[in-house]
A and B are shown apart, each in its own frame.
Chain A
Amino acid sequence: NAGVTQTPKFQVLKTGQSMTLQCAQDMNHEYMSWYRQDPGMGLRLIHYSVGAGITDQGEVPNGYNVSRSTTEDFPLRLLSAAPSQTSVYFCASRQTGLLGEKLFFGSGTQLSVL
């Protein structure tokens, strides 16, 4: 009963470094998304995917890349980290259909860029 699994839980980067935040779900959800959470601003959508091979930009996509080669995995890449990307990142997948709409969130990645 894993749900949405995010790794790592914590990460510290230097400006200009690159890294990938991993996200995997085992619920066969087509829709997956990445959010960042900043104080006083709630959650803002970075990128989302409605199925394998399909991705699109959200509200704050600059500085981030995504890909969706399988239904299960939706990694988020920072190609050249900047201090403005210090935040808490959440991956989510969405249940739809007869069971009703509901987002399942991972436990988050706290990222600091120095």
Chain B
Amino acid sequence: GDSVTQMEGPVTLSEEACLTINCTYTATGYPSLFWYVQYPGEGLQLLLKATKADDKGSNKGFEATYRKETTSFHLEKGSVQVSDSAVYFCALSTFSGGYNKLIFGAGTRLAVHP
């Protein structure tokens, strides 16, 4: 069935370091892909999305490109800040049983130190 696989965390970085969180997916058809972020004590928020192959989603300095050939949607940021410390979830939207459903990866915790 459809699934999302993320790199395991935690990822620990110093401020201003480069970030990459890997995400690969398995899906039939052409899913939309998402990154959600969960800050401590809060619910998830949409960070960015891409709806078709080669699309690049971007927000708050984060980017991810929909790569159909490698079934990947890696999250990147050139210079992280302490405020980026959170759990990041990769997700895909799939049409199943007559309705769209979101399937999430296990999440990757990011800790950024000054």
Residues of A near any B CB (own CB < 8 A): 4, 31, 35, 40-45, 48, 50, 56, 58, 90, 92, 94, 96, 100-103, 105-108
- Tell me whether chain B's interface is mostly helix, strand or loop, or mixed: strand
Residues of B near any A CB (own CB < 8 A): 4, 6, 32, 36, 41-46, 49, 51, 89, 93, 97, 99-102, 104-107
Given contacts A103-B36, A106-B43, A108-B43, is CB(A42)–CB(B105) below 8 Å? yes
CB of B96 to closest CB in A, whole Å = 10
Given contacts A4-B43, A90-B43, A106-B43, is CB(A48)–CB(B101) below 8 Å? yes
Number of residue pairs spanning A and B whose beta carbons lie under 8 angstroms apart: 53
- Tell me whether chain A's interface is mostly helix, strand or loop, or mixed: strand
Q: Which of A45, A96, A105 contacts B45 (CB 8 A)?
A: A105
Listed by A's residue number, 21 A-B pairs whose Cβ atoms lie within 8 Å are A40-B106, A42-B89, A42-B106, A42-B107, A43-B44, A43-B107, A44-B104, A45-B102, A48-B99, A56-B97, A90-B44, A92-B43, A92-B44, A100-B49, A101-B32, A101-B93, A102-B49, A103-B102, A106-B43, A107-B41, A107-B43
